[in-house]
Amino acid sequence: MTDKEKAFENYQAEIVRVKYELSQVIVGQKEVIDEIFVSLLCNAHCFIVGYPGLAKTLVVKTLGTVLGLSFKRIQFTPDLMPSDITGTDIVQEDPQTGKRSFEFLKGPLFTHILLADEINRTPPKTQAALLEAMQERQVTVGTHTYELDSPFFVLATQNPLEQEGTYPMPEAQLDRFMMQIQVNYPDQLDELEILKKTTAGQDANVSAVLDKQKIEEIQLYVRDMPVGDQVFNYALQLCRSSRPQNEDCSEQIRDWVELGVGPRAGQYLVLGAKARAFIQGRNHPTTDDIKAIVKPIMRHRLVLSFEAESEEVSVEAVIDRIIEDTDLRLKL
């Protein structure tokens, strides 16, 4: 057995332990947890959309504990300023010499896992401060730049745009998030188990299974995973099929889509396929892995046309049609 095969077996054993620890607290939501884990292993960020009370915060906080990472939450509000999240310089006086100097007081961005709650509640200036940190993995305050610790993983939640006091996020900013993860209501059996667990006398405790160094090792392993040409081509064709100006795009998609996905979506499809294959216990991705993650990767990147909105065509239906067109063209 090679060193790489041994490493794969060891990492797989640790993933099984992570899933077991999460199951002690989180009931159901397997798909949500897998998609969050895919984003983490790709060293990317994700958007979480769902109704209040569906344990979004609990999932993220528990994940931080199990992975041995620090966790912080920011509740975004209309009066939140960039310095409230990045940190600020404060004046400190030396008690012995009386000399004053500036000292940087770190904000909540300096963590491993950050839950950005209701990100569209805050003005664009504060949104931009977060998005700079997400993209550059650093914070600039005044003339000084501060590196963020690795891994740095942002999970943002968003309120419906129909509500008052929200600031819609531009497509270019949404593109920074690898996935938009949909959290739905639990099924009847899961909801019954939730009721039993959360009303019992003792809360479940979880233990740290991984640590910062091990997570970075797994991220590197996933990125180095070999990918076949068929997988690369499938990711490419899915992206090209979403663009109305492209010759590979069908007439129906031209009617429904105003703006298709960019190359970053293709990058995330390939990386996400690697991460999903790894989570499933395989050391190489297939086109099925791409199909499994195409919706969370594309749903916040497609801009639908007025015709699609007037016909009440959902973005999910559009993505299904893109997959269908691509499979037909590639004869899969």
pLDDT of residue 160: 57
5 and 147 co-located in one domain: yes
Looking at 203, 224, 245, which one is the last position of a domain? 224
Q: What does the pLDDT profile of the chain (332 residues) look like in tens digits?
A: 687 778 888 888 888 888 888 877 777 778 888 888 899 899 999 988 877 777 777 788 888 888 888 888 888 888 888 888 888 877 777 777 767 777 778 888 898 989 888 888 888 888 888 888 888 888 887 777 888 888 899 988 876 555 555 667 777 778 889 999 888 888 888 788 878 777 776 666 777 888 888 888 889 999 999 999 999 999 999 999 999 988 888 899 999 999 999 899 999 999 999 999 999 889 899 999 999 999 999 999 999 999 999 999 999 999 999 999 999 888 77
213 and 272 co-located in one domain: no
202 and 94 co-located in one domain: yes
Nearest Cα to Cα of residue 326 among 249, 254, 273, 247: 249
Question: Count of domains in the chain?
Answer: 2
313 and 200 co-located in one domain: no
65 and 12 co-located in one domain: yes
Q: Which two tokens stand for residue 205?
A: 């405790």
202 and 254 co-located in one domain: no
pLDDT of residue 235: 95
Per residue, the 3-state secondary structure of the chain, as one string, reads: CCHHHHHHHHHHHHHHHHHHHHHCCCCCCHHHHHHHHHHHHCCCCEEEEECCCCCHHHHHHHHHHHCCCCEEEEECCCCCCHHHHHEEEEEEECCCCCCEEEEEEECCCCCCEEEEECHHHCCHHHHHHHHHHHHHCEEEECCEEEECCCCCEEEEECCCCCCCCCCCCCHHHHCCCCEEEEECCCCHHHHHHHHHHHCCCCCCCCCCCCCHHHHHHHHHHHHCCCCCHHHHHHHHHHHHHCCCCCCCCCHHHHHHEEECCCHHHHHHHHHHHHHHHHHCCCCCCCHHHHHHHHHHHHCCCCEECHHHHHCCCCHHHHHHHHHHHHHHHHCC
pTM over 0.85? The answer is yes
Q: What is the CATH number of the domain that holds 322?
A: 1.10.8.80
CA 287 to each of CA 227, 263, 278, 326: distance values in angstroms, whole numbers, following the listed order: 10, 18, 14, 12
- Phi, psi (rounded to 5 degrees) for 319: -65, -40
pLDDT tens figures, 206-243:
778 888 888 888 899 999 999 999 999 999 999 999 99
218 and 287 co-located in one domain: no
Looking at 224, 253, 275, which one is the last position of a domain? 224
273 and 181 co-located in one domain: no
pLDDT of residue 164: 56
218 and 238 co-located in one domain: no
Looking at 193, 224, 255, which one is the last position of a domain? 224
29 and 132 co-located in one domain: yes
Nearest Cα to Cα of residue 64 among 13, 6, 111, 134: 111
For residue 147, the enclosing domain spans 1-224
- Phi, psi (rounded to 5 degrees) for 72: -140, 155
138 and 192 co-located in one domain: yes
pLDDT of residue 173: 74
Whole-number Å distance between alpha carbons of 239 and 298 = 9
- Identify any residues that bridge with 140 across adjacent strands, giving them in sequence order: 145
181 and 230 co-located in one domain: no
